[in-house]
Structure 1
Amino acid sequence: MISGMLFIFAPLVVGYLFSVRNKNWLNKLNQVTSNLVYIMLFLMGLSLAALDNLGDNLQLIIKFVSVFFVALGAANLLFLPLIDRFMPLQTDSSHSQLPLSSMALESLKLIVVVGGGLLLGVVLNLNLPWVDNAMEWCLSLLLFFIGIQLRNCGLTLGQILINKLGMMIAAVMIITSWLGGLVAALVLDIPVYKALAMASGFGWYSLAGILMGDAFGPVYGGASFLIELMRELVSLVMIPMLIGRKPCTTIGYAGATSMDFTLPLIQTTGGVRCVPVAIVSGFILSVLVPVLMLFFVSLAG
């Protein structure tokens, strides 16, 4: 876990050490960042194509995914807009004033890129062990560029590492996710501790799937993986379309991914002022995923 956090923050901090005064260079940097986002999405599609068949329990998994995804999303999106109302976050006006059609087109392009990678991987039956490493290198480079942009927007390290708004978003996400988990437990008639464990994934699909699968079997593991993966995919659609009007809502719904995978998209569509909020919120949620999941799992014994 600690090594994972160092992987996330090291390139960001190193990038922050670079001061770039040339506006043309900064504009080119923004363009490269956007292109890297598309590359990462395509690689994610390839990685999805390499997943093993989830087996005979697919129908039950789909039922779990449907109920949890709706319950968690409804609870999150019911309360997160209250933060936008009472603690508004100013976004970059050049992004927030884009026509809705342009935002929708941007979201569609993102989904098409992911789908293209998935389709290519399935049709060609590619064995691509290098995809995960490639995504890690791309992510490091993206975070390095974001660090440079942070340095040149006037934000201090204190604003980046300690942000009350980010803390508030994380707290609301945790509480509302648990509320959604309780609703899912009632609908599916499963133990509350299992539902709360599943509700504590906060978008970290790889870890959530592993922990739940190890504790409660392949149905819970597969469902947890898909629930959090769907959160990430929906976030890719929501962020370009809604971040100008509901930045806290979109950052919060992205969950733990707001500090890594969706961070470049948050920055490019909402402006650099959204970055400290996203980092703090995502960091808190990332740290708490294993802690909270294992706590609820321990209640089984």
Structure 2
Amino acid sequence: MDSLITLISILTPLFIGFFIRVPKHILRLVDKGLNALVYIILGLIGISLAQVDNIGREIGFIAGAGALLFACVIGMNLLILMLFDRKRPWQNDLQGSGRKARVSISGSLKQIACVLAGFVLGRALKESWLPPESANTYALMLLVLLVGIQLGSSGITLRKVLINRRGVETFVLITVSGLIGGALFALLMPGVKLSQGLALASGFGWYSLSGIVMTGAYGPVWGSVALVNDLAREFFALMFIPLLMRRYPSAAVGVGGATSLDFTLPVIQSSGGLAVVPLAISFGFVINVSAPFLMVFFSSF
């Protein structure tokens, strides 16, 4: 029942938001609010992590487990999608903007800083001064509502998403290969059952969502492992999208996961030109909608 309530609390605001249309000047405010909310949620994750007993001993475990999960998931993603790009080359002529793609990791560093700031506050403040646990849930519901509004007001229709065959194929391959990576992680990591490995692998780069959902399902330590995995995907995407784009466009878009619709989209466009943008939007939309469902579904077992 708890899993069903979690799923409803995530998907309902997402779909409500998708049918809310706002003018461009309001959409800019939504974008700013969404960015601010991401930082707030990351701070809340840090506060939750600070409440873990013997956290000093857990940091090494979080880093090691997060690195292993990332290696399994991103490794399988690249293997499957690079094979796909070689077997079925994309016919569009990918022409970049002529400029070298600008790669900025400043946003990712700010996100890590927010988690650390939340952790420091969580250790320093009295328990009575800390936000209630329900704050995470309400912040997450507001986040997915704003994401839905962002998607719906950006001119994205379900027809545009589903008509882009390459984008849907990329989504299917990223999802299947990511879940295989999660299963491999469960096989290699002692004490992790298959359903937990699949749940941890289902964030696909949506770190603010996976951190809270996995914290609710498995506790702050595993929520932090999911956060490390998905933040590492963002770092990796920023660095390697320009290198992958020429020969492996589907892989280049796919490694960005949920961020291919926003944070890594400028890198995707500057590396592959306008021709690759519909693919990225189609893939990014479907992965954003499916990730919450997959995380809650697998964590319910």
Fold shared per TM-score above 0.5: yes
For residues 17 and 206 of structure 2, the distance between their equivalents in structure 1, rounded to whole angstroms, comes to 16
* TM-aligned CA distance change 1:275 to 1:14, over 3 Å: farther
CA distance in 2: counterparts of 1:120 and 1:176, whole angstroms: 31
Distance 1:291 1:113, change over 3 A: closer
Pick closer, same or farther for the CA change 1:209–1:157 going to 2, 3 Å: closer
Question: What are the equivalent positions in structure 2 for 1:43-82 lying under 5 Å apart?
Answer: 52=46, 54-55=49-50, 56=55, 57-82=58-83
Query: Does the 8 Å CA contact 1:80/1:173 hold for their aligned counterparts?
Result: yes
Say whether the 8 Å CA contact 2:66–2:229 is kept in structure 1. Answer: yes
Aligned residue type for 1:209: G
| One-letter amino acid matched to 1:174 | T
Which amino acid counterpart does residue 184 of structure 1 have in structure 2? F
CA distance in 1, matches of 2:36, 2:270: 18
Residue of structure 1 in register with 2:189 after alignment: 188
Matches within 5 A, 1:22-33: none
Partner in structure 1 of residue 4 of structure 2: none
1:149-194, Cα deviation, whole Å (9 max, x unpaired): x9xxxxx995555211111101111111111111111211211111
Tell me what 2:244 maps to.
Answer: 242
SS at match of 2:169: helix
Question: Do structure 1's residue 254 and structure 2's residue 256 form an aligned pair?
Answer: yes
Matching residue of 1:170: 171
CA distance in 1, matches of 2:152, 2:270: 12
What letter corresponds to residue 67 of structure 2 in structure 1? Answer: S
Which runs of 5 or more structure 1 residues have no equivalent in the other structure? 16-35, 127-131, 151-155
Secondary structure of 1:199's match? helix
- What is residue 30 of structure 1 aligned with on the other side? none
CA distance in 2, matches of 1:117, 1:201: 16
Matched, 1:265 2:259: no
Match for residue 105 of structure 2 among 111, 115, 136: 111
Contact 1:45 1:115 in 2 (8 A): no
Whether the aligned pair in 1 keeps the contact of 2:17 and 2:152 (CA below 8 Å) is no
User: Cα RMSD over matched residues?
Assistant: 4.2
Structure 1 residue identity aligned to 2:218: F
- Aligned mates of 2:116, 2:64 — CA distance in 1: 24
Give, in whole Å, the separation in 1 of the partners of 2:20 and 2:93: 26
TM-score using structure 2 length: 0.68
Cα pair 1:198 1:224 within 8 Å, conserved: yes
Aligned length: 258
Bigger Cα displacement from structure 2, 212-221 vs 233-242: 233-242
Report the CA distance shift for 1:47/1:178 in structure 2 as closer, same or farther (over 3 A): closer
Q: Secondary structure at the match of 1:93?
A: coil
Q: Could you say which residue in structure 2 is the equivalent of 1:294?
A: 296
Distance 1:142 1:264, change over 3 A: farther
Distance 1:162 1:254 in 2: 21
CA contact (8 A) 2:46 2:115 kept: no
- In structure 2, the partner of 1:203 is 205
TM-score (norm 1): 0.68
Matched letter for residue 58 of structure 1: I
Work out the CA distance in 1 between the residues paired with 2:177 and 2:19.
27
Q: Say if 1:118 and 1:73 are closer, same or farther in 2 by CA, change over 3 A.
A: closer
Shift of 1:200: 1.0
What's the counterpart of residue 280 of structure 1?
282
Q: Deviations over 1:82-110 (max 9, x none)?
A: 23221415254243x66xxx44xx22xx1
CA distance in 1, matches of 2:77, 2:263: 20
Q: Indicate how the Cα distance of structure 1 residues 207 and 255 shifts in structure 2: closer, same or farther if over 3 A, else same.
A: same
Aligned-partner SS, 1:63: helix
Distance 1:271 1:184, change over 3 A: same
